[in-house]
């Protein structure tokens, strides 16, 4: 799979909702398609201000010249060994490049990074954005929904219903202080809309990754293990922070 296709399938769901990236989601799909120019993909990917500094960090930390190398993109969205060994100070420096970095308390960001946080998409969702702080202050929504849906999560296909699938997955919950993974439940996820889709020929039993309401990719056992591992690490990191107030 090309880096463009891999980046697009994970970045498209929030982009289509207007949460990040360029205003026209078709630009992302076109840039990630086969035969697209590399400079077009770079131009679009740089406009995802949440993802780009992490891609630069992962690439630089592993001696990879291209932040859109497939290995780097996979490490950010799903996870891989490339995330191991990146110093907390480097992670904090990368976070400082985010327009969103001022939303969360600096002391809590530092604490989460020092507690084992890693340069994975889940860190941005759980630690950089202020949603956990809002939960702890008693503001349940939209914080809980965004935390659960914006993270990359995993699930197993139960049924295929045309352009949608029924997936069994573990939602994120909140116990009054910490974020926790709850017991499995079933949910409906989208495979394609108006000709845009990323995974074909799904069958019951397939393991998949999800972002917002979309199926992004099939997961092999190694990818599933990495996604679960780095999600757990970042949950632990943010749960060690002291609630503000």
- How many CB atoms within 10 Å of residue 162? 7
Is the pLDDT at 1 greater than 80? The verdict is: no
Is the pLDDT at 37 greater than 90? The verdict is: no
Token code pair at residue 91? 């992670």
> Cα–Cα distances in Å, from 31 out to 47, 122, 152, 164, 215?
12, 24, 22, 25, 19
Q: Please, which pLDDT band fits residue 103 given cuts at 50, 70 and 90?
A: very low
Question: What is residue 71's three-state secondary structure?
Answer: helix
Cα 218 vs. chain centroid, distance in angstroms? 15
Question: Secondary structure of 39-71 in the HEC alphabet?
Answer: HHHHHHHCCCCCCHHHHHHHHHHCCCCCCCCHH
Token code pair at residue 38? 């590399």
The pLDDT of residue 102 is 45
Per-residue pLDDT tens digits for 171-183? 999 999 999 999 9
What is the share, in percent, of the chain residues with pLDDT greater than 70? 93
Is the pLDDT at 112 greater than 80? The verdict is: yes
In eight-state DSSP terms, residue 138 is T
- For residues 57 and 145, what is the distance between their CA atoms, to the nearest angstrom? 28
| Total length of the chain | 245
**pTM of the entire structure?**
0.93
């Amino acid at each position: 799979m090309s880096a463009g296709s891999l980046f697009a399938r994970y970045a498209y769901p929030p982009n289509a909702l207007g949460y990040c990236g360029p205003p026209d989601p078709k630009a992302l799909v076109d840039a990630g398609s086969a035969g697209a120019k590399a400079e077009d993909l770079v131009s679009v990917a740089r406009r995802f201000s949440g993802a780009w500094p992490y891609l630069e960090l992962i690439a630089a930390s592993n001696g990879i010249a291209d932040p859109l190398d497939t290995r780097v993109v996979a490490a950010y969205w799903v996870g891989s060994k490339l995330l191991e060994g990146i110093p907390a100070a480097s992670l904090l420096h990368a976070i400082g490049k985010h327009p969103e970095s001022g939303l969360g308390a600096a002391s809590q960001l530092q604490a989460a990074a020092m507690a084992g946080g890693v340069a994975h998409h889940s860190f941005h969702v759980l630690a950089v954005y202020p949603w956990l702080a809002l939960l702890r202050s008693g503001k349940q929504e939209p914080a809980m929904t965004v935390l659960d849906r914006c993270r990359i999560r995993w699930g197993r296909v139960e049924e295929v219903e045309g352009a949608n699938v029924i997936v069994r997955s573990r939602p994120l919950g909140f116990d009054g202080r910490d974020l926790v993974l709850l017991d499995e439940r079933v949910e409906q996820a989208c495979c394609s809309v108006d000709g845009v889709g990323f995974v074909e020929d799904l069958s019951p039993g397939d393991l998949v990754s999800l972002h917002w309401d979309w199926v992004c990719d099939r997961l092999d056992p190694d990818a599933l293990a990495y996604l679960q591992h780095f999600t757990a690490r970042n949950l632990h990191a943010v749960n060690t922070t002291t609630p503000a107030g």
